[in-house]
A and B are shown apart, each in its own frame.
Chain A
Amino acid sequence: MASQLDLRGTGDGADRAFRWLAIGAAALVLLILGLIAITMTERSSSVFGKMGLDFFTSKRWAPPDGQFGGLSFIWGTLYTSVIAIALAVPISMGVSLFITQLAPRWLKMPLVYVLDLLAVIPSVVFGLWGVLTLAGPIQHFYTHVHNAVAGIPLLGSIFGDSPQGRSFMTAGIILAVMITPIITSLAREVIETTPQNEKEAALALGATRWEMIRGAVIPHSKGGITGAVMLGLGRAMGETIAAALVIGASIGQISINVFSSGNSMPAVIANEWGEADEIHKSALIALAVVLFVITIIVNVIASTIVRRSMARSRGVRR
């Protein structure tokens, strides 16, 4: 009789306990998310009932009149996030490629350290720096840019008149500064995982360093980089205090002029919550629901892109 290996081992009880603990933790996350969604939807139902679809299509936000149209805030949130991504991604890519591929060893560690430090600075610090230091002088720069492109069809409208330093652009810049370290450090980790032999193979075939990065590093890390960017986008969209300080707090502003002031969903919630009455509070919660939904959509898109590009790069290798 061949003795069978006892697969159950002596730690069976502990194994099961651990299993339930892990399942419980995972379920708790879903439960909390579900409860948040239910509570917020329930508390925002009165404004959705009153405004209907106008909540999404109207830009008129007039609490004394009981009119709550959130379109301008949705616009502000998306527009500032796009600006932030447009500014942050090239810089983050440059920094992470420099750190992983080009930087001498003695420079690498301090650089990583400073970047990680930048990532943990509270957003209110960035916001205050933005409103006290950046917003004033940068208006002159905006005016120069405006004058330089005035008259050119599309550019003239995008870089329009700048009545003040606090604007979509200033918010975008501050958000970019905030998300750059996040995108950089995630992208760096991903790029670092590029197999050494693939890089060496590219170089052995006579590729220059840039061709090696383009041919071996980028394809390998495309999915991870996209994920990093989407994470940055999520942070930019949800950022509250920094945005509230530098975006200019204009109500009902929908403009492609990056130099005009506007408002974003989290900023409005933070600003107006304290003195809001019932229906006004419900409208602010409704904005939170919209933000919640948009964030989920962005994440779903991100994970789809990541999955596709991973599948593609694997397909190439086979």
Chain B
Amino acid sequence: MPFGVATVRGMKTWFLVSGLAVTSLLSTSCGKSNGSAATSKSGGTVVINGSGSTFQKPFQEVAIDSFSKDHAGIKVNYGAGGSGKGRQDFADQVTDYGCSDAPYKQDAAAKVKGGEFLYVPVLLGAITVSYNLDGVDKLQLSPDTVAKIFQREIKKWNDPAIAADNPGVTLPDMDITVAHRSDGSGTTEQFTKYLDLAVGAAGGGSEWKLKSGATVEWAPDTQGGNGNQGVAQIVTGTKGAIGYVDLPDAKASNLKFAAIKNQAGKYIMPSTDSAKAAGDGIDVKPDLTFVSVNAKGDASYPITAPSWCMAYVKQGDKAKGDAIKSYFKFMVTDGQKLLGSIDFAPLPKALQDKAIAQVDKIQS
């Protein structure tokens, strides 16, 4: 049922536009009520609301489900409307926690209304470079080649650059169709950030010209699909297509994906293990933000994306503060065990310890 899923996720994004009006209404009304977020206690149940990353949505769903079994008095709601919405809602105190695949930019962080807040990393996930090519079951790509393909500098599958990455493989004389996200997306941001960092690092005169961001300037002769499922659908339906799709969706759509050459020069397939290995090779800043693409290490899959949840240090309401703290604690401890089954990677031990220490800073 991949199409059904695509519909639901796609529609979420679209509803944002209409939801915007509601959101701004909510934020004004909440601003007046002592700055406390839109939360209610009904019948002894504490409700905490979060919104944000669609990348994280499968994790939030299983985590909430599992958490609520042991915490009957706490109800957690998560609305997956995109990382940008997650950051905005959290900054405006519309939600109690926000989840995002990217930290706030400098100027936006200053506009977060609820005072000091914490980044808590919750998971790592691989972004695959998926393709549709009959007869080629193993494909290896270096970052320079990926960049050339997505910039339309290479337009045929039997191009010498692809052949050089794949010695001994017979590549067909076929046109390449590039598929990308049509909606603004954290996945696009991580994928382009990877190319921005990795391309040309080894010399050779290659250059990634599109920079990085949630929406970049793809060439007009490429195809846009809505959501990971939309890109997966283009790749599935088009012979010779290539696109970037997160691992859970690529697996759900039975796509073939390429092994990508990492910093150590090894071609690594995307998997939960190789994404976890990437987690060992990252430099974590004191506020627990980090860049996880193009990570060091022999076994690291280089296009590994992070995701965080954010919570305020000072919680106004004792009951709610306790609830948020225990849910965050769950996400970085027992919740980590749920990740493998949904094709995400848990945090490496060192980072997990830091994340737990970070959660302890929440004052309930």
* A contact residues vs B (CB 8 Å cutoff): 60-65, 124, 128, 132, 136, 163-164, 166, 240-241, 244-245, 248-253, 260-261, 269-278, 280
A244 near B182 (CB under 8 angstroms)?
Answer: yes
B183 near A271 (CB under 8 angstroms)?
Answer: yes
Known: A136-B237, A244-B182, A249-B223. A276 touches B11 (CB 8 A): no
Q: Which B83-98 residues have a C-beta within 8 angstroms of A?
A: 83-85
Known: A136-B237, A240-B14. A271 touches B212 (CB 8 A): no
A251 near B3 (CB under 8 angstroms)?
Answer: no
A65 near B211 (CB under 8 angstroms)?
Answer: yes
A245 to chain B, nearest CB (A): 7
Q: List 24 contacting pairs A-B, 8 Å CB cutoff, sorted by A.
A: A60-B217, A61-B217, A62-B210, A62-B217, A63-B215, A64-B192, A64-B211, A64-B212, A64-B216, A124-B7, A163-B177, A164-B177, A241-B14, A244-B14, A245-B10, A249-B224, A250-B224, A252-B220, A260-B220, A270-B13, A270-B17, A271-B226, A274-B84, A275-B186
B214 to chain A, nearest CB (A): 4
Partner of B217, one of A65, A132, A270, A277: A65
Q: Which residues of B contact A276 (CB under 8 A)?
A: 84, 184, 214-215
13 more A-B contacts (CB under 8 A) besides A61-B217, A163-B177? A64-B213, A163-B221, A244-B182, A248-B223, A249-B182, A249-B223, A250-B218, A260-B220, A261-B224, A271-B183, A272-B184, A274-B13, A275-B214
Report how far A164 CA is from B177 CA in the complex, Å.
9
Partner of B182, one of A61, A62, A65, A271: A271
Q: Which residues of B contact A260 (CB under 8 A)?
A: 220
Q: Which B30-59 residues have a C-beta within 8 angstroms of A?
A: none
B101, closest chain A residue (CB):
A275
Partner of B223, one of A63, A124, A166: A166
Report how far A276 CA is from B84 CA in the complex, Å.
7
A261, closest chain B residue (CB):
B223
Report how far A202 CA is from B116 CA in the complex, Å.
82
A275 near B182 (CB under 8 angstroms)?
Answer: no
Partner of A271, one of B13, B218, B222: B13
Query: Residue B20 at the A interface, CB < 8 A?
Result: yes
A250 near B221 (CB under 8 angstroms)?
Answer: yes
B327 to chain A, nearest CB (A): 24
B309 to chain A, nearest CB (A): 17
Query: Residue B185 at the A interface, CB < 8 A?
Result: yes
A94 to chain B, nearest CB (A): 33
Q: Which residues of B contact A270 (CB under 8 A)?
A: 13-14, 17, 183
A128, closest chain B residue (CB):
B7
Q: Which residues of B contact A272 (CB under 8 A)?
A: 183-184, 214-215
B226 near A251 (CB under 8 angstroms)?
Answer: no
A280 near B223 (CB under 8 angstroms)?
Answer: no
Q: How many B residues, CB 8 Å from partner? A: 42
Against A, the Cβ 8 Å flags (1 = close, 0 = not) of B62-93 are 00000000000000000001111100000000
B224 near A273 (CB under 8 angstroms)?
Answer: no
B305 to chain A, nearest CB (A): 14
A250 near B222 (CB under 8 angstroms)?
Answer: yes
B17 near A273 (CB under 8 angstroms)?
Answer: yes
B188, closest chain A residue (CB):
A275
Report how far A10 CA is from B186 CA in the complex, Å.
68
Query: Residue B285 at the A interface, CB < 8 A?
Result: no
Partner of B214, one of A63, A245, A250, A278: A63
Known: A64-B212, A64-B217. A275 touches B3 (CB 8 A): no
Q: Which residues of B contact A164 (CB under 8 A)?
A: 177, 223, 238
Q: Which residues of A contact B184 (CB under 8 A)?
A: 271-276
Q: Which residues of A contact B110 (CB under 8 A)?
A: none
Q: Which residues of A contact B217 (CB under 8 A)?
A: 60-65, 251-252
B17 near A277 (CB under 8 angstroms)?
Answer: no
B174 to chain A, nearest CB (A): 13
Q: Which B206-252 residues have a C-beta within 8 angstroms of A?
A: 210-218, 220-226, 237-238
Against A, the Cβ 8 Å flags (1 = close, 0 = not) of B100-123 are 000001001000000000000000
Query: Residue B16 at the A interface, CB < 8 A?
Result: yes
Q: Which residues of B contact A280 (CB under 8 A)?
A: 215
Report how far A153 CA is from B106 CA in the complex, Å.
54
Q: Which residues of A contact B192 (CB under 8 A)?
A: 64
Q: Which residues of A contact B82 (CB under 8 A)?
A: 274-275
A157 to chain B, nearest CB (A): 16
B241, closest chain A residue (CB):
A164
A132 near B216 (CB under 8 angstroms)?
Answer: no
B225, closest chain A residue (CB):
A249
Known: A270-B13, A272-B215, A275-B83. A253 touches B220 (CB 8 A): yes
Q: Which residues of A contact B183 (CB under 8 A)?
A: 270-272, 274-275
Q: Which residues of A contact B214 (CB under 8 A)?
A: 63, 272, 275-276
B184, closest chain A residue (CB):
A275
B83 to chain A, nearest CB (A): 6
Q: Which residues of A contact B14 (CB under 8 A)?
A: 124, 240-241, 244, 270
Partner of A250, one of B7, B11, B185, B220: B220
Q: Which residues of A contact B215 (CB under 8 A)?
A: 63, 272, 275-276, 280
B16 near A274 (CB under 8 angstroms)?
Answer: yes
Report how far A227 CA is from B225 CA in the complex, Å.
35
A132 near B17 (CB under 8 angstroms)?
Answer: no
Report how far A261 CA is from B13 CA in the complex, Å.
21
